[in-house]
Every structure is written in structure tokens, then in C-alpha cells.
Amino acid sequence: MMRWRLTLILLGLVGAMLLSACGSSTVHPKAKPPSRTHQQQPDQPQSQTQPQQPSSTATAQSWPFAVRDLRTAGSASAFALTEPAQAASSAWSLSPQFAGYSGYLSLLRTTDGGAGWTDVTPPDPFSGVPDEYGTALDFLNQDTGWLAMEVGQGSTTTIAVARTTDAGSSWQVNTLKAPFPGGIYLDFTSSEDGWLLAMSTPGAGLMSKVLYSTSDGGRTWQEDSCSLGPGCPQKGGLLPSDSYPTGMSFLGSGGFVSALNHGDSYLWFYGSQDAGHTWQRIPLTVPKAYAQGYGDVYSPSFSGTNGRMFVQFSTSTGPLLVVYQSADGGRSWQPKASPALPVSLGSPAQFGWTSGEDGYVASGDGKDLYRTTDGGQTWARAPLPNAAATAASEGLLQLAFTSAQDGLLAASDRSGTCEIFTTRDGGQTWTSLAPQNSGAK
């Protein structure tokens, strides 16, 4: 197995780098910092279940990896982008070049809900090249997926995109040139059609951006639009240069890019109806109760033409999380007429939708999980394992659900302990796993 090396930076949302024995994390800057001291608990409507203490039917085991990204791909299948948290033990024998070197990436796969993991790391296209930056992972299903990584070389960047159609047993790696190093987002809507957003590190409050597209599965890429790029001050109306993106997603030829608020009176959310060639700001109504605050928009998810996304408002009374919904494929959005969830998202934010109505949010402090089965009308709260709180404080918490009931949680902390948990009841209880090495691909 060749190695993919990592130097984590600000994936566009740049802040202070926190070092830990399990790796590093990014704290995102804001024009006005959100209140972190007013963590209210939501009112308990009658439909909510009461909090329960987490259950552990196995002794917590230290896993010799810190999980940087966790993606589910099927009922019991998941992929984890990892780096060593400590010297790999004999139970996790890796190639001599890999073992024991902090900052080197591997991609691991499980097909049994997290009990056993197989090394499916792509070949390293940058052997011996320093100054590596962002990474991005995207899977359509348990077989087809992509892993992208960028390397800065002077004023330009080379981005490698590795593609597999056999669950990581083999990979095809292609590269493209980008004008600056910083961070990347990646999203595929089919085995052939995908988009890659490359971002610079911000300077003087500005951030350059270039959007690329592919129609052949990542073999070749074309520049669609840009903002403040070298030789491209503005093309296609892509997000303005003073915005910091939080994510990108596509639904057919419709595209969406969301961003942090940067001291403006409106919400940063842009859409495209022509596969990313041109973009326009999508107006989002701000509820009167939150008009004096500001909001960060997070990338939407869709079930057919019905979409949902989260907007995090920071107000004088504390953080408020609001669900916005669309019934027309994302052309228009309205806040859901239900009480806001008084919870602050973490960094990186841990949330998702497992179906049109079922969603989850992990609190920024890593203490609680909130679940909804009615699209955000009501929420039920349950505590997360204790290890999640420490991991969340260091930006090292990863959470993913394959269904309304089944999910995985990876928690790393400064001490070098990385734990994997599973739930089979929607997060009401969690079982600590002792992951086994299932061998090489």
C-alpha cells in the first residue's frame, strides 16, 4: 500500500490549527463569533423520548487511527479516511513507509458495521512531494467512490482524484492543475458527473474559488466558474470572494454552494441551474425572531425534489438551528414553521438526513444527539458516549448513519485514544467496538 500524506489546512473556512495526538482540527472564523456559553436545552414536546444513559456492551478500545472523514455506503458498509493516532500495533500491520508516521493518510473500509476494517488506500500520486493540503471523499454506493487530495507547489496546486468502482480493490488516479492551494469540496451525482470546488486560504478576508466539473467520472476536468482566481476575477457569478464556503451539493444540473456569514445582512446561499456554469444568490427569508442575529448556511440534502438544509443563527440569546425546506428542487426555500433547535453545531458540523423526514444533529459540545422523524418539527434528545465530548472539543468527532436506526461514531482525543461506537436504535444507546484488522485489499 502506498501512502497518502496529509497536512490538514483550513478547508476554506480557515482558523486556528489545534494539534492533538490523534491529529489536528480546524476552527472556523466568523465576522462575529457565536455564543458558546449559552447552550440551552430544547423544550421537550410530548412526542420526544426522554434522554437515556448511553450503553456500552464492550470495553472501550483504543483504535490506532484518527478518523478525518466517515462516509456510510450501504446498510453495513462505511469508509473512513484516517491517519495514525499512535504507532500502529501488530494487529494493524501497514506498509513500513506508513506505520508510525503521523500525518499519513489511509482509507479503511468496513462491511460489517465497524467491527472489521480493510485497508483500501489508493496509490500515492505525490510520493516525496511536500506541502499537501485539503482532502475530500465522496461515495455514491458501496462500490463507487472518489478520494481527492491537493498538493501545493509554489503558486499552483495539483489535485489528484482517485476513483474506484470495486469498493477500493483498485483505483484509477487522475490529476488536474488548480491556481492555488487551500481546500476542496467534491460531489458526484452519478458515476460520470461530478464537481470539485477548489478554494484558497483566505487573505484580508477574501478567498479565491474555482469550480471544476467532469462528465467522465473524474478522468478529465473543465473549469466552469471562478471568483478572484488568477486571470479570472469573476466568471459565472460564483460565490463572491469575501465568502467562506461550508459545502457544495448538486441535484441533477442544479447546484448549491453555502457559506458562513461574513458580517452581511443576508444569508450566503447560491444556486445554479446549468450544472455550475452560472450562479445566482438564492434569497432566504430570515425569521423576524432572528433578524438581529446572523446565520451560517450549510449544504442541503434532497429526497427527490424535496430538499432540507440547516441554517445556524447566532443571536444575543444563544445559538438557534433552523430547518429550511424546498419543494421545487432547491429553487426556493422557506424556514420550517417549528421552534428552532437551541443547539450550536460543531466544527466540523455533524448532521445529516437519512431520508426525507429523518435527520440528526450532534451538538457542538459532543454531549447530545438530536433526532427528528418529522422533518424537524420535533426533536428527541439522547446523550452521546463520553468520548464524543472530548473529540468534539478538538474537532475530531465523526458521525454517520446508514438508516434511521443504524449509525457509526468515531471519537479521537489528545491522549491518543480513538474509539469507534455503533448504534442500532437511532442513537438512544451506543456500543463500543473493538475494531479488527480485516487485512489488505
User: Which of the residue ranges 54-63, 111-120, 170-179, 298-307 would you say has the lowest mean pLDDT?
Assistant: 54-63
User: Which of the residue ranges 28-37, 187-196, 235-244 would you say has the lowest mean pLDDT?
Assistant: 28-37
46 within domain boundaries: no
Mean pLDDT across the chain, nearest whole number?
A: 80
37 within domain boundaries: no
Closest CA to 4 of 116, 71, 109, 95: 95
Q: Which pLDDT belongs to residue 100?
A: 31
- The rounded distance, in Å, linking the Cα atoms of 384 and 391 is 11
- The band of 82, judged by pLDDT with boundaries at 50, 70 and 90, is confident
19 within domain boundaries: yes
- CB burial of residue 225 (10 Å; 0-12, 13-18, 19+): buried
Per the structure, the count of domains in the chain is 1
- The band of 98, judged by pLDDT with boundaries at 50, 70 and 90, is very low
- The band of 93, judged by pLDDT with boundaries at 50, 70 and 90, is low
pLDDT, average across residues 159-173:
95
The larger pLDDT score, comparing residue 242 to residue 13, is at: 242
- The rounded distance, in Å, linking the Cα atoms of 410 and 432 is 10
198 within domain boundaries: yes
Which helix (H) or strand (E) covers residue 52, if one does?
none
For the stretch 30-47, pLDDT in tens is 333 222 222 333 333 333
pTM (predicted TM-score): 0.82
Contact by Cβ (8 Å): 235, 221: no
23 within domain boundaries: yes
pLDDT, average across residues 354-367:
92
48 within domain boundaries: no
92 within domain boundaries: yes
pLDDT score of 6 more than 60: no
Largest CA distance in the chain: 59
- The rounded distance, in Å, linking the Cα atoms of 419 and 49 is 26
52 within domain boundaries: no
Closest CA to 345 of 12, 36, 25: 36
- For residue 403, what are the domain limits? 4-30+60-440
For the stretch 309-338, pLDDT in tens is 999 998 888 899 999 999 999 999 999 988
Contact by Cβ (8 Å): 373, 357: yes
CATH number at residue 13: 2.130.10.120
Express as a percent the part of the chain with pLDDT over 70.
77
pLDDT score of 16 more than 50: no
